[in-house]
Amino acid sequence: MIKNKKPSLALKERLDKTYQYLNENPKLQCILSGGQGANEEISEAKCMYQYLVSKGIDPHRLYQEDKSTSTRENILFSYQLIKKENLPKAITIITNEFHEYRAQTIARRLNIKSYAISAHTAWWLFPTYFVREIFGIVYEFIFLGGKIMGGISVLVVLGLFMSFYALYLFLIFISIFYLVENYIFESLFLYNKTHSKKSWIPYYSKYLLGKEVALEKEGLFLMMIEIMGTILFYLSLNVQLGSLDTIIFLLFLGCVLLSFIMNIYILHQIIKKVYPKYGDWITVFNVLTLGFFRSISLFLVRNKLIKRLSFFKVCDNILHEI
């Protein structure tokens, strides 16, 4: 959980919660538990120590336990250090939400009374850590023996973990399908109308979509919104900005909402040209289905729109000649 001597995002979230807790309780000591992995330059304990000291925590309040390689060893070795240093026996475990259940379970099995504080976990990290926790719980229950909560209770917990994970994967699949489906059918609509390879250029196709139906400014605005949304999404996944993470994610959601509204608006203008009588109903249908059939609707009316626009162009030329 360390890269280039810096904490990973999940570890950083734990440390930020620890920093907050230590500031709120200035008399407490803290044990930083974590050994050194094969590909890590320093131990997790050392990394955490450096991070908290750099943020202003008094080094004398921090103790390093740098031998543990698992959650069980984290708790066991830390408790041994507590007894060695004659520290208070009231223990609070600070860990991520997905890890709290297993950490508390292991502490109970070691006859260690503890409380837990959950650190925030970035949403995109849940699939990876959920899988790890499932195997961790199974390993703790089967291979280390003893009871976690009783066999049936363990199966219930595992079932919940698997259900949430399956739902998460389903939502990811639907999102990818949504993006690919919209890109393909929207590009086919534009290419059928313009016969230009530019129709297949991501983002720029949004500008072309607006331009082809006399909504050039709207198309340009939509293109900029989707570019901004992509940048914000990348930042939320790959850049650690502390308290700004939530703001960036909210801005990303705002871009998603604006993009949806603008896409539906442009679709409505196009559909109204082809089916003036049913345009409103088709738009309502696309709103209720969250835009899943928006690009398909464009694709289905492509030929009728071309004929209608060609008819208007001919009429306009005749009027100019008169």
Q: What is the pLDDT of residues 44-56, one digit of tens each?
A: 999 999 999 999 9
In a domain, residue 138? The reply is no
Q: Are residues 188 and 317 in the same domain?
A: yes
Q: Any idea how long the chain is?
A: 322
Looking at residue 199, its amino acid is S
Measured distance CA(236)–CA(240) in Å, rounded: 8
Measured distance CA(231)–CA(308) in Å, rounded: 38
The residue from 90, 121, 152 where one domain ends is 121
Query: How confident is the model over 172-230, as pLDDT tens digits?
Result: 888 889 889 889 998 888 888 888 888 899 999 999 888 877 888 999 999 999 999 99
Q: Are residues 105 and 233 in the same domain?
A: no
Give how far Cα 200 sits from Cα of 10, 248, 255, 296, Å.
Answer: 38, 29, 22, 16
Beta strands in the chain (DSSP E): 2-3, 6-7, 30-33, 62-65, 91-96, 114-119
pLDDT of 269 reads: 87
- Res. 258: pLDDT tops 90: yes
Phi, psi (deg, nearest 5) at residue 185? -70, -35
Q: Are 69 and 35 in contact (CB under 8 A)?
A: yes
Q: Are residues 203 and 111 in the same domain?
A: no
In a domain, residue 174? The reply is yes
In a domain, residue 107? The reply is yes
Q: Are residues 217 and 273 in the same domain?
A: yes
Helix (H), strand (E) at residue 185: helix 151-194
The dihedral formed by the CA atoms of 198, 203, 209 and 210, expressed in degrees to the nearest 10: -130
Return the bridge partners of 118, or none: 95
**pTM exceeding 0.75:** no
pLDDT of 247 reads: 82
Q: Are residues 315 and 173 in the same domain?
A: yes
Q: Are residues 195 and 310 in the same domain?
A: yes
Q: Are residues 238 and 109 in the same domain?
A: no
Return the bridge partners of 63, or none: 31
pLDDT of 262 reads: 92
Return the bridge partners of 93, or none: 116
Q: How many domains does the chain have?
A: 2
Q: Are residues 89 and 199 in the same domain?
A: no
- Helices of type H across 85-150: 97-109, 126-142
Any residues with CB less than 8 A from the CB of 13 and at least 6 apart, and which?
A: 96, 119, 120, 121, 122
In a domain, residue 12? The reply is yes
In a domain, residue 67? The reply is yes
In a domain, residue 45? The reply is yes
In a domain, residue 145? The reply is no
In a domain, residue 100? The reply is yes
- Strand 6-7 and strand 2-3: the pairing is antiparallel
CATH at residue 105:
3.40.50.620
- Res. 241: pLDDT tops 50: yes
Q: Are residues 184 and 106 in the same domain?
A: no
pLDDT of 238 reads: 62
Q: Are residues 237 and 304 in the same domain?
A: yes
Provide the residue range defining the domain that includes 40: 2-121
Residue scoring higher pLDDT (245 or 118): 118
pLDDT of 310 reads: 46
Q: Are residues 209 and 82 in the same domain?
A: no
Query: How confident is the model over 299-315, as pLDDT tens digits?
Result: 887 666 545 544 444 34
Q: Are residues 114 and 247 in the same domain?
A: no
Measured distance CA(9)–CA(19) in Å, rounded: 15
Q: Are 137 and 119 in contact (CB under 8 A)?
A: no
